[in-house]
Chain A
Amino acid sequence: GENVEQHPSTLSVQEGDSAVIKCTYSDSASNYFPWYKQELGKGPQLIIDIRSNVGEKKDQRIAVTLNKTAKHFSLHITETQPEDSAVYFCAAPGYSTLTFGKGTMLLVSP
């Protein structure tokens, strides 16, 4: 089955800095890579996703890049704000649903 590795587990940045979270996957046939944000006490929420026919996708301050050859994809958050503080999960297709990484706790200090 699919194996998803996510790094780092914790990331602390100052407000205004950029944050990058990286994930690797094992199944070269995977073609859909979403990122979810989970705020305290809530369920995860999709923030951006990318399909394997493109290498990069942007939505305001967030972007995702995909390197199919290396089988890794990354989440980039620019101009971080305190409200970006949350746990971020990457995912890749598993057998019948998504396989999630273990999550990255992002802390943005004012």
Chain B
Amino acid sequence: GAGVSQSPSNKVTEKGKDVELRCDPISGHTALYWYRQSLGQGLEFLIYFQGNSAPDKSGLPSDRFSAERTGGSVSTLTIQRTQQEDSAVYLCASSRLAGYNEQFFGPGTRLTVL
């Protein structure tokens, strides 16, 4: 079946511009996660959506970052006024249930801020 998809696969933008990254989770998965992966670093948690509950935004690094999940399915991560330090691979994952269960990752969006 279809896995988690993300678009675009690559995004190059200029400093100060806004960007939107999209994630399509596996159908029926109630939990959705966004992570950031910088070169040589692990996976940094950004935000977590679970069903209709309020999202856990505790990992967002600044108020320039926001995310929404419409209809319990597709999610968009928005970065406003991008900075060079935002350059990274942004990974989305979904899981069938909440809690500590297998997370299925998308291929990521590589963001480069010039």
Contacts and interface: CB of A to CB of B under 8 A. Distances in A.
Interface of A: 6, 31-32, 34, 36, 41-46, 49, 89, 93-103
B58 A44 contact: no
Contacts of B4: 43
Contacts of B45: 94, 97-99
B102 A100 contact: no
Interface of B: 4, 33, 35, 40-43, 45, 48, 50, 56, 58, 91, 93, 100, 102-103, 105-108
A98 B48 contact: no
Contact of A44 (B40, B48, B100, B105): B105
A34 B42 contact: no
Contacts, number: 50
Given A96-B58, A97-B45, A103-B42, 18 more contacts: A34-B102, A42-B107, A43-B4, A43-B91, A43-B93, A43-B105, A43-B107, A43-B108, A44-B43, A45-B105, A95-B56, A96-B56, A97-B56, A98-B100, A100-B42, A100-B43, A102-B40, A102-B42
A97 B33 contact: yes
B114 to A, nearest CB: 21
B102 A93 contact: no
A95 B105 contact: no
A31 B33 CA distance: 20
Contact of A96 (B35, B42, B48, B108): B48
A89 B48 contact: no
* Most B CB within 10 A of own CB, among A43, A94, A102: A43
A97 B43 CA distance: 11
Given A95-B58, A103-B42, A46 B93 contact: no
Given A43-B106, A46-B103, A97 B42 contact: no
Nearest to B89: A43
12 contacts: A31-B100, A42-B107, A43-B105, A45-B105, A89-B42, A95-B58, A97-B33, A97-B48, A97-B103, A98-B45, A99-B45, A100-B43
